[in-house]
Structure 1
């Protein structure tokens, strides 16, 4: 009888912890989405150093990784988590959660935290992003993006790049080389956000409504990534 009571108490305690854990998970995802919106707002607050209008207008998908961490002691490692949204005929999609991981080798000591923005510029980039996992620079061509809203960007990125990559560290915003890093869906967080194991392709194609906690992030992307009249 005593054993039964112990088991019942354990079950009751476990059940009580589930709502607390779920609330903490929701808060974590909301904070990440809001941080991603902050990154875009802060980058675009300085037009002469932001993403050029031609790139904003032509983007197919946007990935934001707030506080991407890179640390090194002989063997370097990089890791970050963020959110992605894609342009659809009905506007920008609800987000999926993603993670970016990679490594580097060499005699290096130090560490830094950097905000990252990845912009998919063509349908190939979009299709690559819809894969479960792919390597930047391998499965998808990437190049450091030009900076400055009125910048006269060269033609190489238009011809070759599926992704344009940007970084912001200590107030400086510039293109960055992310070759070798791997971008993949964070299935656990996407599942927690939508309450079910739904295909992330469907979310990015616009088949799921935007959750309340993600509306600010999606609206922020839509605010800046506007299709110009020249693209109609």
Structure 2
């Protein structure tokens, strides 16, 4: 009888915890869904991307923020950026959906007009609740940009590989750029960096959103190739990138790390290679 009573109380406690988690998750999904819906047009995506990117890059008015941001050196040599948000929710079955945009560096050093992208999927597992994760993928090569320019899907780990990117400042960051992965992936959930693996994630060109904004079915290769002038609605996004690229790092300590999937830190020292967080 004592065992049964203990089991009953344990089950009641688990039920209360699950209910609370579901309520919290539902609230987060509702809030995130509103953001997702508002950002489903290109102007909305540009506004959302600017807000997301601002949390990943250093604030020039607070140089110390560079110690916990995508490195200036990584940003300066980037050939492109993909910025998107993913909402994941489920109970036994799970689903995820996300949207964002991609921009490319043009030969003169400026940035292209944005092209809208989306991702999604379903899964199975013991999952209760919801989560919202922001992603920034730094495209380190022309091949990576070309993958987003061809239309259709870009499957990370399939079409092209990605590694968890370094965070911080100093020579160790420069060393990691000697032979970088085609893409560096960065993610934040609950405001904290995490080295989440994106293997198998498919990012799809949103031709509908591009057509609605640009007025005709302009292919991604033309948008990212500079054949479309950068729109005013993306000006805040460009301003944030420009400010972070111009950050004065003099006087800052040399500190760099790679985030683990759990949000921990792997220090990067000397000429240590930056490995994929999933390995």
Q: Same fold (TM over 0.5)?
A: yes
Compared CA separation, residues 110 and 149, structure 1 to 2 (3 A): farther
Give TM-score scaled by structure 1 length.
Answer: 0.77
Q: How many residues align?
A: 202
Q: Which residue of 2 aligns with 1:81?
A: 99
| 1-structure distance, mates of 2:197, 2:174 | 17
Q: Which residue of 2 aligns with 1:126?
A: 145
Corresponding position: 1:37 with 2:50: yes
| 2-structure distance, mates of 1:79, 1:151 | 37
Corresponding position: 1:185 with 2:205: yes
| Alpha-carbon shift at residue 80 of structure 1 (Å) | 0.6
Give TM-score scaled by structure 2 length.
Answer: 0.65
Instruction: Please report the RMSD computed on the Cα atoms of aligned residues, expressed in angstroms.
Output: 2.6
Which of 42, 56, 70 pairs up with 1:51?
70
Q: CA contact under 8 A between 1:59 and 1:225: conserved in structure 2?
A: no
| 1-structure distance, mates of 2:138, 2:101 | 12
Q: CA contact under 8 A between 1:25 and 1:192: conserved in structure 2?
A: no
Corresponding position: 1:96 with 2:126: no
Compared CA separation, residues 145 and 27, structure 1 to 2 (3 A): closer
Higher strand proportion, which one?
1
| 2-structure distance, mates of 1:155, 1:195 | 44
Gapped regions of structure 1 (runs ≥ 5): 1-23, 227-232
- Larger RCO: 1 or 2 (CA < 8 Å, sep 6+): 1
| 1-structure distance, mates of 2:145, 2:231 | 22
Q: CA contact under 8 A between 2:87 and 2:131: conserved in structure 1?
A: yes
| 2-structure distance, mates of 1:49, 1:65 | 20
Q: CA contact under 8 A between 1:102 and 1:180: conserved in structure 2?
A: no
| 2-structure distance, mates of 1:120, 1:94 | 16
Which of 193, 203, 221 pairs up with 1:201?
221
| 1-structure distance, mates of 2:122, 2:170 | 34
Q: CA contact under 8 A between 2:74 and 2:177: conserved in structure 1?
A: no
Gapped regions of structure 2 (runs ≥ 5): 1-36, 60-64, 247-279
Q: CA contact under 8 A between 1:145 and 1:176: conserved in structure 2?
A: no
| Alpha-carbon shift at residue 30 of structure 1 (Å) | 2.1
Q: CA contact under 8 A between 2:67 and 2:168: conserved in structure 1?
A: yes
| 2-structure distance, mates of 1:25, 1:197 | 22
Structure 1 residues 165-176: aligned runs within 5 Å: 165-176=185-196
Structure 1 residues 61-76: aligned runs within 5 Å: 61-66=80-85, 68-76=86-94
Q: CA contact under 8 A between 1:48 and 1:150: conserved in structure 2?
A: no
Deviations 1:46-65 (A, max 9, x none): 31110022211221110111
